[in-house]
Structure 1
Amino acid sequence: MRLAGVVEFLSFSGVCKSWRSLALSNRKMFMASKPPMLMFISPCGNNKTCLLQDFEGRKFKTMIPQLGGRECLGLSCGHLILFGQQTRDFWLVNPITRHQLHFPNVPTIKIDKEITIRIRAILVFSPSLNSWVFVMTSRATYEIWFSIAEEGKGGAWSRVSSSFRIIDIHAFKGKIYTLNYSSDSWLRRNVCELRLHPPVPKLTLLDTHFVGSTSCVFNFVSSDENLYVMQCVSRYAYMVHKPVGSQLNCVWAPCEKTRQEYALFHSGLKFSVAVKPESWPSSSSFFDANRRGDRFYSAKGWYFPHACLNVNYYT
């Protein structure tokens, strides 16, 4: 647990069988104590090179095979979500554990130059199905698609229709939520709960609402304790909204306390995390050197070791 970072941990686990056994038995606790790493993905022939760099500048490089012609459009449960522009399928790869899942092409999805920007997708695990479930939507459309993995490969896609244009999708504490435009105004947003269980998967509108500008980008962000909605005005200007009231009847109000307690890491891969810095004792020097009132860190790609082994359970 005194190893400096993820790079040293991976090197330690590769020395011999006994060291690897010790590393694996402590891997989840170790990863949970480490802050995000900058992530860079660059094409390399028919492969892709994934480079992870921690706050101290240490680097870990891994090759992700057979993924030429794909673009990384998200991150979920530590898995990179790679989308094939020509094949229209998804390949999910965890660069740390090497776990992979493949899901087929999505019916009726409109392919254009903006598709990788619009796609929102999450990976969840259903204990009742004893299987991974991949859920995706295209921003500002009325459809959600999901596929159940079978032996590493996804099955046929199923569809859930929405009465609202969907902005974002997120798994939190055993449930799946969608953020939507209201049907009566582009300025109003609401939240729905997505239930995938038979006999009829459906979206249930929660009696929640808040108002924002059409020029702002909204998306979900969560900590271990709470689910928030982040409103980004620019790269460094943002506001965090937290539900006030009961779960089914609440107003999303600006939450200044969140900005004081949490460091918010915003990723261009449509996956952001709010974490209390004291949970990363080894990174105190980073926050001292980068002291800012709002502690907002934006990058094209963050990789979150603490989420590498976590599973979004869907109950």
Structure 2
Amino acid sequence: MTRKLNYDASSRKRMKSCDNKGGVPWSDLNHDVLYSIMMRLGVVEFLSFSRVCKSWRSLALSKRERFMTSRPPMAMLAHKNTCHLQDFEGKQFKTILPVPHSVDRTCIGVTCGYLILFGEKTRDFWLVNLITRHQLHFPHVPFDVGHPQERVMRAILVFSTSMNGWVFVMLNRFKYKIWFSAGEGAWNHVFSTFPLLDLHPFKGKIYTLSTDYLRSGRHVYEMRLNPVPKLTLFETRFLESVFLALDFISSDQNLYLMEYWPNGLHKVHKLDFDQLNWVPCENKMEEYALFYSCFKQGAVVKPETWAAPSSQYRRFFGNYKPGKGRCLTSKFWYFPHDCLNVNLIDH
């Protein structure tokens, strides 16, 4: 059954004004009791909870970060101006995105809790945060972005301290330019010597991945936006690979490169920043779950930090072998805790 994320004002009013057979009003319930109830809710129920009354909203806002970080990712499907979410218990939810309805838009990715929506006719981008409902708009692009369903676009949202604002950064796989916009009508770009595969924010920096066809290997660059946009080669060991389905993926502490094969097998390499080397680690991932999406958004996490038991995740397993961790695949993943995070970069 699919639930709609509609918040009925009359329903909230009835709940706010009702009492327990003449007892304490809902709004005056003990916050310790409310907190215990709130932490048992799903993401969508939490949003409804926060809209009941001022008292409940105050509690929800004060505990929102703790709540969101305890929720597991949700499988997501976006079609035109509608988004469908499915949690690990199989519950499905539907929400209408607050974007201009005159243009059909295609979701090409998720970044910082924002859905990246591309208008094929208008050739612009709307970014919508599913939890906070905040929106960002980036103008008509002056370059060919290809068809959204070809899955060649890679895009991230960052906040640049030096530019004092949001910056939308994107590339087309196998092309030679990275484009970015601060949302004021202008796009700028950085040129790469080799065809580009991916880009990823990690600990205050932006890293890009390119391919060297002649040597069947990969290069990693650090991208700077200010004062002069440029790519600087990151002097890591040359990573050899003949397969092109390579994507950055990260945990809170480590940056990984994931090689995902169509048969579900995968290889994972961790970037050792001290030794400037790629370390194979697929046999050391038994504590982790790897979330993979062909539309970019992914993560490496420890499932025991979530509220739901890991037995509920098996429906999403793309590959599972004892001692090699779990690889969970979906068209899109939505990470609730990311809605409160900012990819803050220091340049």
Provide TM-score, normalisation by structure 2. Answer: 0.81
Residue aligning to 2:79:
42
Matched, 1:74 2:74: no
Q: Which runs of 4+ in 1 moved over 4 A?
A: 287-291
Q: In the alignment, is the contact (CA less than 8 A) between 1:145 and 1:158 conserved in 2?
A: yes
Instruction: Tell me which amino acid in the other structure corresponds to 1:6.
Output: V
Match of 1:283 in 2: 309
Deviations, residues 286-310 of structure 1 (Å, cap 9, x unaligned):
2588884331111112111121111
CA distance in 1, matches of 2:54, 2:305: 30
Is the aligned partner of 1:3 residue 2:73? no
Letter paired with 1:222: S
Q: SS of the counterpart of 1:19?
A: helix
CA contact (8 A) 2:153 2:173 kept: yes
Among candidates 30, 34, 43, match of residue 67 of structure 2: 30
Q: Deviations over 1:118-175 (max 9, x none)?
A: 11110001223331111111111111111114xxxx4311111111211000000100
Q: Which amino acid aligns with 2:115?
A: L
Q: How many angstroms apart in 2 are the aligned matches of 1:115 and 1:196?
A: 28
Equivalent residue runs for 1:109-120 within 5 Å: 109-113=143-147, 116-120=150-154
Q: Is the 8 A contact 2:288 2:302 kept in 1?
A: yes
- How far the C-alpha of 1:9 sits from its partner, in A, is 0.8
Q: Which amino acid in structure 2 is aligned with residue 160 of structure 1?
A: V
Which structure 2 residues correspond to residues 170-189 of structure 1 after superposition, within 5 A?
Answer: 170-182=200-212, 184-185=214-215, 187-189=216-218
Report the 3-state secondary structure (helix = DSSP H, G, I; strand = E; otherwise coil) of the residue aligned with 1:268: coil
The answer for the alignment partner of 1:311 in structure 2 is: 342
Structure 1 length-normalised TM: 0.89
Residues 63/195 of structure 1: CA separation in 2 closer, same or farther (3 Å cut): same
1:204 partner letter: T
Alignment match, 1:296: 327
- Matched residue count: 301
Report how far residue 257 of structure 1 moved.
Answer: 4.3
In the alignment, is the contact (CA less than 8 A) between 1:171 and 1:312 conserved in 2?
yes
Paired letter, 1:181 = T
Structure 1 235/27 Cα, relative in aligned 2: closer, same or farther at 3 Å? farther
Structure-2 separation of matches of 1:245 and 1:125: 23
Q: Which residue of 1 aligns with 2:128?
A: 93
Q: Does 1:19 align with 2:52?
A: no
Post-superposition CA distance 1:257-315 (Å, at most 9, x none): 44312101112321111101111133334258888433111111211112111111111
1:130 aligns with 2:164: yes
Listed as ranges, the matches of 1:226-241 within 5 Å are 226-234=254-262, 236-241=264-269
1:120–1:245 Cα change, 3 Å = closer
Q: Any conservation in 2 of the 1:240–1:258 contact (CA below 8 Å)?
A: no
Q: Distance in 2 between matches of 1:114 and 1:58?
A: 28
Aligned residue identity for 2:177 = E
Kept in 1: contact 2:249–2:256 (CA 8 A) = yes
1:145-156 to structure 2, matched below 5 A, reads: 145-149=179-183, 154-156=184-186
Aligned pair 1:163/2:193, yes or no?
yes
Computing the radius of gyration from Cα coordinates, the structure with the larger value is 2
Instruction: Give unmatched runs, 5+ long, in structure 2.
Output: 1-37
Task: Tell me the percent identity.
Answer: 53
What is the match of residue 234 of structure 2?
206
- 1:227 Cα deviation (Å)? 0.4
Q: Bigger CA drift: 92-101 or 280-289?
A: 280-289
| Worse overlay, 109-118 or 74-83 | 109-118
How many Å apart are 1:58 and its aligned residue? 2.7
Counterpart in 1 of 2:14?
A: none
Distance in 1 between the 2:170 and 2:49 partners?
A: 37
Q: What CA distance in whole angstroms lies between the structure 2 residues aligned with 1:21 and 1:206?
A: 46
- Per the alignment, in what secondary structure is the counterpart of residue 29 of structure 1? helix
Q: Which amino acid aligns with 2:246?
A: F
Q: CA offset at residue 251 of structure 1?
A: 2.8
Greater fraction of residues in strand: 1
Question: Structure 1, unaligned stretches of length 5 or more?
Answer: none
Q: Does 1:254 align with 2:280?
A: yes
What's 2:24 paired with?
none
Which amino acid in structure 2 is aligned with residue 275 of structure 1?
V
Cα deviation per residue 1:172-231 (whole Å; 9 max; x = unaligned)?
01000001113743x110100001111x111000112201114x4001000111000000
Secondary structure of the corresponding residue to residue 88 of structure 1: coil
